[in-house]
Structure 1
Amino acid sequence: MNLKTVEANGHIIAVAHGDSILLKDEQSAMDMMMTISFEKGSNRISLNKEAISEDFFNLSTKLAGSILQKFVNYNIKFAIIGDFSVYTSKALKDFIYECNKGNHIFFVPSEHEAIDKLSNAK
């Protein structure tokens, strides 16, 4: 995993990029959150979509809900960077839309937008 930090709007944002699957279950999410939070002193994390198991994007597995609930419970703002237009599920599109209206979880197309969303989240 490549990891860098960016300071924006008074917040430290950890920008992670994985070439392999980093998030595959709740435990891997917890491990990633705690490692990045401790090492970088940040409660705002972005990750590329390719580093997340495809099961996450199939809402019937309930993986997305269980993983994202961990981020919310630990007050970690989280942005997923990627192209989500490849998914045809109306439920997933609605889920992404609702997440993007909130202040904890964001689905964005670029690192720049992830930094913007995370730095302005309340």
Structure 2
Amino acid sequence: MTTDTLRDVHGVPVLDCADDGPVLRDGDAALDVIGDALGRGAELVVLPVSRLGDDFFQLRSGVAGEIVQKFVNYRLRLTVVGDIAARLAASPALRDFVTEANRGRQLWFLATRAELDGRLRPAARR
């Protein structure tokens, strides 16, 4: 198992979670990642899609809301990284949720870590 790493992305401390870590199935599981992020001084957590259970992407389950709310409560930003195109195609509600999330600053869904670099570039933050 690889480990989560703290890195600086354009002045933002980012906890980059390993692809093969434990799956977050609820808000309590998210607290482990949050505790690690806060302990390392991170402001943003990058979580691979592989670390989220299927329930996260089924909005009726409430799991996405529960996990995201934990990050909000602890004032940590969250970026989910990976390909979710098939899930978006299958769910108009999820597509709307992702579109709205990507307009803000608290939660982003990005295909690659390189996209995060672009979003955090100082000119892009204005």
What TM-score, normalized by structure 2, do the two folds share? 0.86
Q: Could you list the per-position Cα deviations for residues 60-115 of structure 1 after superposition, in whole angstroms to 9, with x for gaps in the alignment?
A: 10110111011112110110001111111000000000000011000000011124
Match of 2:36 in 1: 35
Distance 1:61 1:75 in 2: 23
- The root-mean-square deviation of aligned C-alpha atoms, in Å, is 1.9
Contact 1:47–1:80 (8 Å) recurs in 2: yes
Query: Which structure has the larger Rg?
Result: 2
* Uncovered stretches (5+) of structure 2, i.e. residues with no partner: none
Match of 2:55 in 1: 55
What TM-score, normalized by structure 1, do the two folds share? 0.89
Amino acid at match of 1:51: R
Match of 1:78 in 2: 78
Q: Which has the higher helix share?
A: 2
Distance 2:68 2:29 in 1: 12
Tell me the number of residue pairs that the alignment of Structure 1 and Structure 2 aligns.
Answer: 121
Instruction: Give the match's secondary structure for 1:17.
Output: coil
* Uncovered stretches (5+) of structure 1, i.e. residues with no partner: none
Greater displacement, 16-25 / 62-71: 16-25
Greater relative CO (CA pairs within 8 A, separation 6+) = 1
